[in-house]
Amino acid sequence: MSDDGPNRSIDLLVDVEAGTGRRAGLEEALRTAIRIGRLGPGTRLPASRALAAGLGISRGTVRAAYDQLVAEGYLTARQGSGTVVALRAQAPPEPRTGAPSEPRTEAHGGGGRYDLRPGSPDASAFPTALWLDASRRALTRASAEAFGYGDPRGRIELRIALAAYLGRTRGVLARPENILITNGHLQGITLLARVVGGTVAMEDPGVPFHAEGVRRGGAAVVPLPVDRRGARTDLLAGTAATAVEVTPAHQYPTGRTLQPERRRTLVEWARDTGGLIIENDYDAEFRYDRKPVGALQGVSPEEVAYLGTTSKTLGPALRLGWMVLPSRLVGAVADAKLHTDHHTEHLGQLALADLITRHAYDRHIRASRQRYRRRRDQLRTRLQPYLSHGLTIEGIAAGLHVLLTLPPGGPTEADVTAAATARELALGYLTERRLSPSTPEQAIIIGYGRPADHAYSAALDALTSTLDAVLLPPVPEL
Ligand SMILES: Cc1ncc(COP(=O)(O)O)c(C=O)c1O
């Protein structure tokens, strides 16, 4: 049997028990590793010469052990392709109690066949060619130092690019020194919670998953109600909050804009108390038919930590976001980041810097905005007939989701869930976004960003069929 070709330089950890014969010990160690799945089907084994050298035994002994396991069906050996674990060699693992379970967040977990849950853009629209090109350019141009440890705030190339980009597009007053690159918004608020401590007021409804991140960062969470004018910033003075997280441009999930007097109250609260405003600008790039609302940070940079992310513009998989910090917090947050993960990985940062500086990021966002606007228009047209049944739509001017409030005394979220599930449709619900069990208001959150283009109109069919089922009286049988 020849096993030297493609297998020459493969490493393998085998634990041959002392006391057994060398060949029998090696055979048993390999059998066990295959049985328990440590060596999965198709895994290549090292060439006999290499394994023999590593174990300090003769090549003949390794060959004999391999031949035996081929005969038993654990391995297959083919001229030219070496020795591999047979495809059927592995017994299915026994279910174990305490086995790791899948993590679940609102963004994870199964959608239905038709997926209109909020929280994600269309992952199938990730600009692969653009990212590949930017990555290639970034890797080719990167200096040797980019492959070592770096500044916990992130790559200077990206911080310079973002300072200009955020100033130009969002009115953010950013200096590269005050920017810290994160692994997305969740990491940003967790780091801030760790540094600021105390109590963070968070919008209710909002993102319970992010509230959990703040708690895990070590701060307490107090819910801040949201009404038609946005977050009730007028209530902050009566709380013990040391910081508040808000989504002023497009409240999540209601889609409301924080009204000017509420913005004023918020800034006054921060100036009077020294409290920190955490501005979550999570979907700022998607504005359709209203003037962009400038970032609060531009008005009060020393009171606001401004957070942005690529999760909606490029994709959540990148885990790439940024914070523009008040000067007083930069050192402490950089230290917290350093002790979390040194810094965000460099290569993605360099690719993003390349996209931004060449304005390819602007072009990509403009094209995405047009795509999502078309979807938004289709959704609005399909929802129009239901408005006479007391449904109201909010947040349609921006973002990738809308809030559809159900009429009082009409169908409940549970009714919609039952009808939607029967149609294999997944939606978001307002009650799931509550931080405290408060108002009885019932609403559906429709995320029109998530489906692939080809699946979108079928998802809208499932949605209207669901609404028909819960809103229209059944047709009497003749
Ligand atoms: C309200 C809100 N904030 C922030 C984010 C982005 O979070 P991250 O950057 O951690 O992916 C999302 C994503 O859906 C969101 O809905």
Question: Is it the case that residue 76 has pLDDT exceeding 70?
Answer: yes
Average pLDDT score over residue span 63-87:
91
Would you call 250 helix, strand, or coil by DSSP?
Answer: coil
Specify the long-range contacts of residues 43-46, CB closer than 8 Å, at least 24 apart. 43/84, 43/85, 44/6, 44/7, 44/10, 44/82, 44/83, 44/84, 45/3, 45/7, 45/10, 45/12, 45/75, 45/82, 45/83, 45/84, 45/85, 46/7, 46/8, 46/9, 46/10, 46/11, 46/12
The predicted structure's pLDDT at residue 265: 98
* Ligand 1 neighbour 74 (Cβ under 6 A): no
| Ligand 1: nearest atom to the Cα of 316 | 11
Distance CA 381, CA 384 (A): 5
Mean pLDDT calculated for residue range 365-389: 96
Q: Ligand 1 centre and the CA of 121: distance in Å?
A: 11
One domain for residues 277 and 207 = yes
Question: Span 466-478, mean pLDDT?
Answer: 84
Rounded CA separation 27/64 (Å):
9
| Cα distances (Å, whole numbers) of residue 304 to 180, 263, 274, 328 | 14, 12, 11, 11
Residue to probe by mutation, ligand 1, list 191, 252, 402, most atoms within 8 Å of CB: 252
79, burial (CB in 10 Å: exposed 0-12, middle 13-18, buried 19+): exposed
CATH of the domain at 118: 3.90.1150.10
| pLDDT value of position 313 | 97
Tell whether 213 and 334 lie within a shared domain.
Answer: yes
Mean pLDDT value of segment 249-273: 96
Predicted confidence at residue 103, as pLDDT, reads 58
Cα 363 to Cα 321, 356, 358, 370, distances in angstroms: 19, 10, 10, 11
- Is residue 286 lining ligand 1, measured as CB closer than 6 Å? no
Ligand 1: residue whose CA is nearest its atom 6: 185
Residues with Cβ < 8 Å from 392, sequence gap 6 or more?
Answer: 404, 405
Report the pLDDT value the prediction gives residue 187, as an integer from 0 to 100. Answer: 98
What's the Cα-to-Cα distance from 176 to each of 154, 156, 224, 235, rounded to whole Å?
Answer: 10, 7, 32, 34
* Residue 121, ligand 1, Cβ within 6 A: no
Is the torsion defined by CA of 236, 241, 247, 253 positive or negative? negative
Domain CATH code at residue 216:
3.40.640.10
Instruction: Give the model's confidence band at 5: pLDDT under 50 very low, under 70 low, under 90 confident, else very high.
Output: low
State the average pLDDT over residues 248-268.
96
Domain shared by 381 and 452, yes or no: yes
Give 360-363 contacts, CB < 8 A, sequence gap 24+: 360/130, 360/134, 361/165, 361/313, 362/169
What angle, rounded to 10 degrees, do the helices at 346-357 and 156-170 form? 40
Same domain? For 233 and 329 the reply is yes
- Domain contains 427: yes
pLDDT at 2: 46
**Edge-to-edge strand order for the sheet containing 321-324?**
179-182, 321-324, 304-309, 276-280, 243-246, 199-204, 220-227, 230-231
Q: Tokens in use for 10?
A: 């493969």
Q: In this model, does residue 465 exceed pLDDT 60?
A: yes
pLDDT digits (tens, 9 = 90+) for 396-436: 999 999 999 999 889 999 999 999 999 999 999 999 999 98
331 vs 292 pLDDT, higher one: 331
One domain for residues 353 and 380? no
Distance 158 CA to ligand 1 centre (A): 20
Tell me, yes or no, whether 7 lies in a domain: yes
Which residue in this structure is represented by tokens 């066949």? Answer: 113
Would you say residue 399 lies in a domain? yes
* pLDDT value at residue 473: 72
Domain count, the chain: 3
Q: Is residue 332 part of a domain?
A: yes
Judge if 172 and 315 occupy the same domain: yes
* 316 in contact with ligand 1, CB cutoff 6 A: yes
Phi and psi dihedrals of 203, rounded to 5? -60, 140
Q: Which of 330, 362, 394 is the last residue of a domain?
A: 362
| Residues 86 and 119 reside in one and the same domain | no
282 lines ligand 1 (CB under 6 A): yes
Say which residue the tokens 């599930």 belong to: 421
Say if 163 falls within a structural domain. Answer: yes
How many angstroms does the Cα of residue 185 sit away from the middle of ligand 1?
6
Identify whether residues 170 and 296 lie together within a single domain.
yes
The pLDDT score that the predictor gives to residue 373 is: 97
Probe residue for ligand 1, chosen from 309, 352, 432 as the CB with the greatest number of ligand atoms within 8 Å: 309
Stronger pLDDT, 92 or 375, i.e. the higher one = 375
Q: Which tokens sit at 317?
A: 């998989």
Q: What is the pLDDT of residue 1?
A: 47
Average pLDDT over the chain, rounded to an integer = 92
Query: Domain for residue 414, yes or no?
Result: yes
Q: Are residue 304 and residue 330 in the same domain, yes or no?
A: yes
User: What DSSP string runs through 176-212?
Assistant: GGGEEEESSHHHHHHHHHHHH-SEEEEEESS-HHHHH
Residue whose CA is closest, atom 1 of ligand 1? 252
Res 238: pLDDT: 92
User: What pLDDT is attached to residue 289?
Assistant: 81
In percent, how much of the chain has pLDDT > 70?
A: 93
Residue 427 has which token pair? 């939606």
How many whole angstroms from 214 Cα to the centroid of ligand 1? Answer: 14
Could you list the residue range(s) of the whole structural domain that residue 377 is in? 114-123+373-471
Q: Are residues 231 and 299 in the same domain?
A: yes
Chain Cα centroid distance, residue 25: 46
- Which CATH number do you get for residue 28? 1.10.10.10
pLDDT in tens, 87-101: 876 555 555 555 566
- Residue 195 belongs to some domain of the structure: yes
Average pLDDT estimate for 458-475: 92
* Residue nearest atom 16 of ligand 1, based on CA coordinates: 119
Residue 478 is assigned to a structural domain of this protein: no
Copy the structure tokens of residue 385: 């007939």
Tell how far the Cα of 184 is from the centroid of ligand 1, in angstroms: 8
Peptide bond connecting 253 to the previous residue in cis, omega within 30 degrees of 0: yes
Q: Over 60: is that where the pLDDT of 4 sits?
A: no
Single residue among 312, 330, 362 that ends a domain in this structure: 362
Which of 362, 382, 413 terminates a domain? The answer is 362
Q: How far is the C-alpha of 91 from the C-alpha of 88, rounded, in Å?
A: 8
| pLDDT digit string, tens, across residues 163-187 | 999 999 999 999 999 999 999 999 9
pLDDT tens digit string along 324-360? 999 999 999 999 999 999 999 999 999 999 999 999 9
Spatial neighbors of 195 by CB under 8 A, at least 6 apart, are: 329, 332, 333, 336
Residues 160 and 181 in one domain: yes
Count of residues for the chain? 478
**Ligand 1 and 428: CB distance under 6 A:** no
For residues 465-474, average pLDDT: 90
252 and 383 housed in the same domain? no
Place of tokens 């690719």: 351
174 with 154: CB under 8 angstroms?
A: no
Name the band, by pLDDT with cuts 50, 70 and 90, for residue 200: very high
Task: Record the tokens describing residue 196, joined without a space.
Answer: 């600021």
- 89 or 224: whose pLDDT is higher? 224
Tokens of 308: 């942005």
pLDDT at 6: 62
